[in-house]
Amino acid sequence: MTEDLPAFSAPESTPAPGVGVYQGGEGASGGGRSGNTAVAVLLTIAAVVAAVIGTRASMVSGDASGAWQSALRTEVKRSVGAINDVSLLYLTEYPQAMRVLPAEMIADALRAAEAGQTEAVAQALESEAARQLELADALSATTPLTDSTAYLLASGGFDLGKRLADIRASGAEGPELLALDPDSLIGTGDQLADKATLLTYALIPTSLCALLGILARPVRRYRRALLGAGTAALYCGAVMALAVEVIA
């Protein structure tokens, strides 16, 4: 006959002094891990928004620089066209026209001197006057200043301003050159430069958001407040950038 042995029960383990037992919960992993995730998400979004704003500001600044360079090229082209037109008038047409007037004046003076002269002298004066008129007619055909009466003044001179305007308008590139407006291109460049500057201002609250997000990681006591402030700063930066795009 066997005797029933008493049931064996394992002794309860007691924690050693100074050793904490892990019970799980918010302090160990839940709250800290979720807080770190929120910080990482905020910093990531802030970095993306800052990159987008910075890229857009750089593009607008490049467009401003391109507008200024185009204005410079346009001004050079317009100036070269104006110099060519002025040179044509004052170095080609006007000197030829000034040779016509003396020839006509000499012819008139010779004819006036015929009175009271002998027949031989009068014939010589008339012959020289005719030669001067032929010279004047030949020269007049080479310059529009004397080819018609459109540019002759009552005082005997030439309307050079009117002739210069006609030269500028009638040239092969006349209408195109007159239509050039470098000032408008400069204004466009200035406007784009101001827009790029305003876009960079939107990076200030975005950078503040990143700073608050960085501070929220070690400062757990105020993490929620810092994350809220960082989110608000990020929202302000995004709204500023959108407002600049719409208004500027």
Residue 109's region, left for phi above 0, alpha for psi from -120 to 50, else beta, is alpha
* pLDDT (tens digit per residue) in 214-245: 998 888 888 999 999 999 999 999 999 999 99
Q: For residue 72, which amino acid is it?
A: L
* pLDDT (tens digit per residue) in 81-137: 889 889 989 998 888 888 887 887 888 888 888 887 888 888 888 888 888 888 888
* pLDDT (tens digit per residue) in 38-57: 899 999 999 999 999 999 99
Distance CA(144)–CA(94), nearest Å, equals: 9
**Cβ atoms of 233 and 209 closer than 8 Å:** yes
Of 2-16, 31-45, 52-66, 175-189, the least confident: 2-16
pTM score of the predicted model:
0.64
Q: Does the pLDDT of residue 18 top 80, yes or no? A: no
